[in-house]
Amino acid sequence: MKKRVLLGMSGGVDSTASAILLKKQGYEVVGATMIMYCNQKIAEDAKKMCEKLGIEHHIFNYENEFRCQVINKFISEYENASTPNPCIECNKYLKFGTFYEKAKELDCNYIATGHYAKIEFSPKYKRYVLKKSEEEKKDQTYFLYLIPKEELEHIIFPLQGYKEKSDTRKLVESMDLEIAKKKDSQEICFIENNNYKEFLQKNMTSKPKKGNIVLTSGEVLGKHNGLINYTIGQRKGIGISFKEPLYVVKLDSAKNEVIVGTEKDLYSNILYANELNWLTFDKTPDKIECFAKIRYRAKEAKAKVYKEEEGKVRVEFLEPQRAITKGQSVVFYDDDGIVLGGGKIL
């Protein structure tokens, strides 16, 4: 009897390629599309691909859950001068939370998505682990560290051996599917044209207020037009002139101030994180040495992680890191590219 797998279908290249691969591997594939934010076109494309591949297709409406767990949190974080990563929250609550529950309802043994990552059994940790994909540029494990470790053995990433998007397109083209030419999805699915500032202006309950732009020494240099318009590490568009280049080094929500400094002020050896999720440990270890990644496009850097009070860790880097940003995630890896866990930067 074939094992059933519930595959997240977006109607795009990666999910379609995943369906093709799973069928070739002998699974009974059940496609499912989660309606989360006005993405009816996605559901239509996904249904069409499922029909052409001869697989069952379901549509689940999770617009309310998506608004509560992802969009509202996104807005709230910005209101508190924090920079969130909505894809990580979506993966936690919906794509690997609610979706897994649906899989069980449909008598599926596994769930699958088109992410570039690996799941394998590790003799070292004596459990299933999440591991970086073959190609560093495509690896998406940074977004996946919040998956419950109990689910790992029930997850399949069919694209784990693929290094280039062009290869997945070729696979879809080989099946004579027009979706092969479809463009990649935009960065944040619920924000048109990636204009997050306009989205926040429309949806925040309390509108951005003007405040002071302050040098790290305490000197007031000018006025800002709302904290949401600034990001840590920003140099251009600050709106002040100074004898040397200045960068945004901190957003102080309590004082409604943008703190600026020189480039050296952007670097720090230490960060604190909470909302931890460990994939290789049952509880927070007292100390680990690892590689830590502070944003998706950042390189992993050697670090030591120390347990602080309940639910919090201190991360000390061997080399200073640039523009550590509150609200982003720090993800921990071992020497073999296995995800140890991660947390939200404070």
| CA–CA separation, 146 and 260 (whole Å) | 33
DSSP character at residue 3: P
Q: How far apart are CA 277 and CA 279, in angstroms?
A: 7
Dist CA 109 CA 45 (whole Å): 25
Continuous H helices in 39-164: 40-53, 63-66, 72-79, 86-90, 99-105
Buried b (16+ CB within 10 A) or exposed e, 3-14: ebbbbbbbbbbb
Torsion sign (Cα): 137, 247, 77, 34: negative
Query: What is the side-by-side order of every strand in the sheet holding 257-261?
Result: 220-224, 211-215, 257-261, 247-252
How far, in whole angstroms, is CA 321 from its chain's centroid?
Answer: 20
Measured distance CA(119)–CA(155) in Å, rounded: 7
User: Six-digit token pair at 180?
Assistant: 């092969």
Question: Do residues 74 and 86 lie in contact, with contact meaning Cβ atoms separated by under 8 Å?
Answer: yes
Q: Which residues are catalytic?
A: 90, 189
Cβ of 297: how many Cβ atoms within 10 Å?
Answer: 8
Q: Which among 152, 92, 100 is positioned nearest to 122, based on CA atoms? A: 152
